[in-house]
A = this chain, B = another copy of it.
Amino acid sequence: MRLRLTPQETTFYDLFAKAADNLVVGAGLLTELLGSDKADRTGIAERMRDAEHAGDEVTHAIYRQLNSSFITPFDREDIYQLAGRLDDVMDAMEAAVDLATLYQVEALPPGVTDQVDVLVRAADLTAEAMPRLRSMKNLTEYWIEINRLENQADQVYRKLLAHLFSGEYDAITVMKLREIVENLETAADNFEHVANAIETIIVKES
């Protein structure tokens, strides 16, 4: 288990960094999903479920830490909120993989690659930004870039829907695929919500 926590890693900053690193793992599994056929998916879905559980473990460690700390580096409710939002990203990514497996869809439409590329980039940026929470410095660029990526994700998603509705697929297949790509769109939105939770912390402290 990659995310098991050692005593030295239990500060809030370390825990947030772990949660974000775990999102990089999740985004990597989405990339594997792209090239997969039905046979591979069960294995990918299992590893995604492991990553989601690892994320839950970190989230709960943050909550425990919150309940046992008299002093916190920023407002308690903002720590609670940021932890929850990091968790929401993983939930949406996990849902997408699980549904792709459950629905037994054949190939995913090509536009999904663009969605996943945005998510990989957002996960990397989030993981890179997290250690800078300690100093609260140089986070503006991260926030701007995540917002830009979320706009890009919106454009990709709209084009994907237009493609799904183009007549190439039967109605039930459209609904299955829409459900999967909607969860990937939600993951991109949730990365923005993480960035907004961080911005809220910065705004309060400034």
Chain B minimum-CB-distance residue to A104: B162
- Are A80 and B199 touching (Cβ within 8 A)? yes
- Are B76 and A203 touching (Cβ within 8 A)? yes
Contact of A203 among B80, B154, B158, B179 (CB under 8 A): B80
- Residues facing B in A157-186 (CB within 8 A) are 158-159, 161-162, 165, 167, 171-172, 174-176, 178-179
Q: Which of A3-11, A34-42, A95-103, A124-132 makes up part of the contact surface? A: A95-103
- Are B179 and A77 touching (Cβ within 8 A)? no
Q: Is the interface of A mostly helix, strand, loop or mixed?
A: helix
Is the C-beta of A206 less than 8 angstroms from some C-beta in chain B?
yes
- Are B175 and A76 touching (Cβ within 8 A)? no
Contact of A175 among B102, B174, B203 (CB under 8 A): B174
Q: Which residues of B contact A165 (CB under 8 A)?
A: 103, 172, 175-176
Is the C-beta of A196 less than 8 angstroms from some C-beta in chain B?
yes
Q: Which residues of B contact A176 (CB under 8 A)?
A: 165
Is the C-beta of A134 less than 8 angstroms from some C-beta in chain B?
no
Chain B minimum-CB-distance residue to A163: B102
Measured between C-beta atoms, what is the minimum distance from A35 to chain B in Å?
A: 23
How many angstroms between the C-alpha atoms of A99 and B81 in the bound complex?
A: 32
- Are A171 and B175 touching (Cβ within 8 A)? yes
Residue from A81, A95, A172, A200 having most chain B Cβ neighbours under 10 A: A172
Contact of A172 among B79, B174, B179, B199 (CB under 8 A): B174
Show 16 residue pairs from A and B whose CB-CB distance is below 8 angstroms, ordered by the A residue.
A76-B204, A76-B206, A77-B203, A80-B200, A95-B154, A95-B158, A99-B158, A99-B161, A99-B162, A102-B158, A102-B162, A103-B165, A161-B179, A165-B175, A171-B174, A175-B178
